[in-house]
């Protein structure tokens, strides 16, 4: 990819392994509250339900249908409700401890550090652009040891809009003092990252984490982070 000087990374599930870290966090909270014993709920089924519900709520946030307060109120409440447990105190406990506890686990996606070191050695300027919460995004980068690779970190909360809205891309480019023609976005979300970048007018590499295998002409698609080296 000629002329690329600035690389903008999505964070969750692109570099920071959100699903693995969330899994470990919920498993710990599950154990702390003796959920299996008290409610006869299998953890793996609970986690699968949470993941499904949480992903849909984040899609609604991305599309402007709900705000983060709604997500935080209902993602665990609705998960427990799936198992016929209607307990607001219990779901609040999970929510209020989740964001703090998850930062104890900072697993990166396989190949993330190797890729960052490779891109740094090539002289690229790297940045984060995330739909996550500002404080949490920054702490994830710091605690996982990758903050030093990035010149700027943009999260949706700091801008007031989320990907795929063009305003957040423009804000991130302005912060980085970068031009569209010299920038590329790498991310795992089809709507927020791929379609957002395409509509905004910057190049994009789709990290196909869940093997969606999109059929779109001229789209750069990778299954593993190491494959980015063939483009950059």
Last residue within a domain, chosen from 86, 102, 118: 102
97, 171: one domain: no
Is the pLDDT assigned to residue 204 strictly greater than 90? yes
CA geometry: angle at 113 spanning 175 and 48, to 5°?
Answer: 95
- CATH number for the domain harbouring residue 72: 1.10.150.240
pLDDT in tens, 2-47: 899 999 999 999 999 999 999 999 999 999 999 999 999 999 999 9
Structural domain boundaries enclosing 187: 6-16+108-230
59, 115: one domain: no
142, 90: one domain: no
Backbone φ and ψ for 188, nearest 5 degrees, come out as -110, -5
91, 186: one domain: no
Is the pLDDT assigned to residue 201 strictly greater than 90? yes
Backbone φ and ψ for 177, nearest 5 degrees, come out as 55, 45
pLDDT in tens, 54-73: 999 999 998 889 998 999 99
Last residue within a domain, chosen from 102, 124, 149: 102
Residues β-bridged to residue 185: 8, 204
Average pLDDT over residues 78-82: 98
Residues β-bridged to residue 184: 7, 203
Average pLDDT over residues 63-88: 95
Q: What are 141's two structure tokens?
A: 């980068």
Q: What are 155's two structure tokens?
A: 């999260």
- CATH number for the domain harbouring residue 209: 3.40.50.1000
Average pLDDT over residues 67-84: 96
Q: How far apart are CA 139 and CA 97, in angstroms?
A: 16
Last residue within a domain, chosen from 76, 102, 128: 102
pTM: 0.93
225, 120: one domain: yes
93, 187: one domain: no
88, 166: one domain: no
Query: Is 1 part of any domain?
Result: no
Mean pLDDT of the chain: 96
């Amino acid at each position: 990819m000629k002329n690329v000087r600035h690389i903008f990374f999505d964070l969750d599930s692109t570099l920071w392994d959100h699903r693995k870290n969330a899994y470990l966090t919920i498993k710990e909270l599950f154990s702390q509250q003796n959920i299996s014993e008290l409610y006869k709920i299998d953890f793996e089924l609970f986690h699968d339900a949470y993941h499904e519900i949480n992903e849909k709520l984040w899609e609604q946030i991305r599309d402007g249908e709900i705000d983060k307060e709604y997500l935080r109120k209902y993602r665990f409440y609705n998960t427990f409700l799936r198992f016929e447990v209607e307990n607001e105190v219990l779901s609040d406990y999970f929510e209020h401890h989740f964001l703090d506890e998850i930062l104890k686990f900072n697993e990166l996606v396989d190949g993330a550090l190797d890729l960052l070191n490779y891109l740094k050695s090539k002289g690229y300027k790297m940045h984060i652009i995330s739909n996550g919460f500002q404080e949490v995004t920054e702490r994830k980068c710091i605690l996982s040891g990758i903050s030093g690779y990035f010149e700027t970190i943009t999260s949706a909360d700091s801008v007031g809009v989320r990907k795929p809205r063009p305003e957040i891309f423009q804000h991130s480019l302005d912060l980085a003092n970068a031009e569209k023609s010299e920038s590329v976005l790498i991310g795992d979300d089809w709507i927020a990252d791929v379609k957002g970048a395409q509509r905004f007018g910057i190049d994009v590499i789709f990290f196909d984490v869940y093997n969606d295998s999109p059929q779109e002409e001229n789209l750069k698609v990778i299954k593993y982070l190491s494959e980015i080296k063939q483009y950059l």
